[in-house]
């Protein structure tokens, strides 16, 4: 677990804490935990546990990755520090935003403004992600398709989509959880031809650590398909 000083820095970057960075776990800091917990759908108890730390790190890695895509050179470590603070402020200054180093709603909207199109996708067609039940639903998010493209590039072999978008009926039929990210187009189940599932999931876990994915797992113990999803 990171110390309270670092937690406060992280919370401030994520627009969840406005108090002093003093290393004291007071009511403001605990309220910051609650804000993060509610925002990312984990137990809201005001206690800094492993899940709270995880979602903070994931959120900051996502910010750092996006800033790097825009030309900054940050270490993607999930920690708010001087370099990340300066990069956020520089981005804000260049985009007519309040320069405070906090990724609030306006900064987040500008930072993650949609810039992808299917022209940016090299190895997949939109039709590959249509709901398998035949209903025609296809709300796949390009951000997760771009990660699938990256997986395909890494292994240099065809990547097959088992499941992309799901309607609620199909999701229930295949045993998906009620809040499955397949419902909102933020998840893909896939495998790479000729690549063992263990090798594949080890790579996708690296993408989680880099903040590019929210979560990944091997769908069956001996299978080759993995699940990937984004925030």
Give the pLDDT confidence of 170-210 residue by residue, as tens digits: 999 999 999 999 999 999 999 999 999 999 999 999 998 88
- Three-state secondary-structure class, residue 211: coil
Question: Element (H or E) spanning 229, and its range?
Answer: strand 226-229
Q: Is the pLDDT of residue 115 over 80?
A: no
| Average of per-residue pLDDT values in the chain | 94
The mean per-residue pLDDT over the stretch 74-99 comes to: 95
**d(Cα 202, Cα 174) in Å, to the nearest integer?**
25
The CATH number of 118-229 is: 3.30.1380.10
Whether residue 105 has pLDDT greater than 70: yes
Number of Cβ within 10 Å of residue 188's Cβ equals 28
Strand-strand pairing, 215-218 and 159-163? unpaired
Neighbours of 184 (CB within 10 A): 15
pTM of the model: 0.61
> Terminus-to-terminus CA distance in the chain, angstroms?
22
Check residue 66 and give its pLDDT: 92
Ranges of each domain in the chain: 4-111, 118-229
Residue matched to tokens 């650590």: 209
CA triplet 85, 91, 94: central angle to 5 degrees?
A: 140
């Amino acid at each position: 677990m990171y110390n309270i000083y670092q937690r406060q820095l992280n919370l401030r970057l994520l627009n969840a804490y406005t108090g002093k960075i003093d290393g004291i776990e007071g009511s403001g800091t605990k309220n910051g935990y609650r804000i993060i917990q509610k925002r990312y759908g984990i137990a809201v108890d005001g206690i800094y546990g492993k899940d709270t730390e995880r979602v903070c790190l994931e959120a900051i890695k996502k910010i750092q990755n996006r800033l790097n895509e825009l030309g900054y050179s940050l270490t993607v470590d999930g920690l708010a520090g001087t370099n990340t603070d300066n990069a956020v402020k520089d981005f804000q200054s260049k985009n007519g935003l309040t320069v405070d180093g906090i990724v609030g709603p306006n900064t987040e909207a500008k930072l993650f403004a949609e810039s992808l199109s299917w022209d940016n996708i090299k190895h997949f067609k939109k039709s590959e992600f249509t709901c398998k039940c035949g209903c025609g639903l296809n709300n796949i998010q390009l951000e997760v398709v771009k990660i699938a493209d990256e997986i395909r590039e890494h292994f240099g072999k065809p990547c097959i989509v088992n499941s992309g978008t799901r309607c609620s009926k199909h999701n229930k039929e295949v045993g998906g959880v009620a809040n499955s990210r397949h419902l909102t187009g933020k998840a893909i189940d896939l495998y790479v031809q000729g690549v063992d599932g263990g090798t594949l999931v080890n790579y996708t876990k690296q993408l989680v650590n880099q903040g590019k994915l929210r979560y990944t797992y091997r769908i069956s113990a001996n299978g080759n398909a993995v699940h990937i999803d984004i925030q």
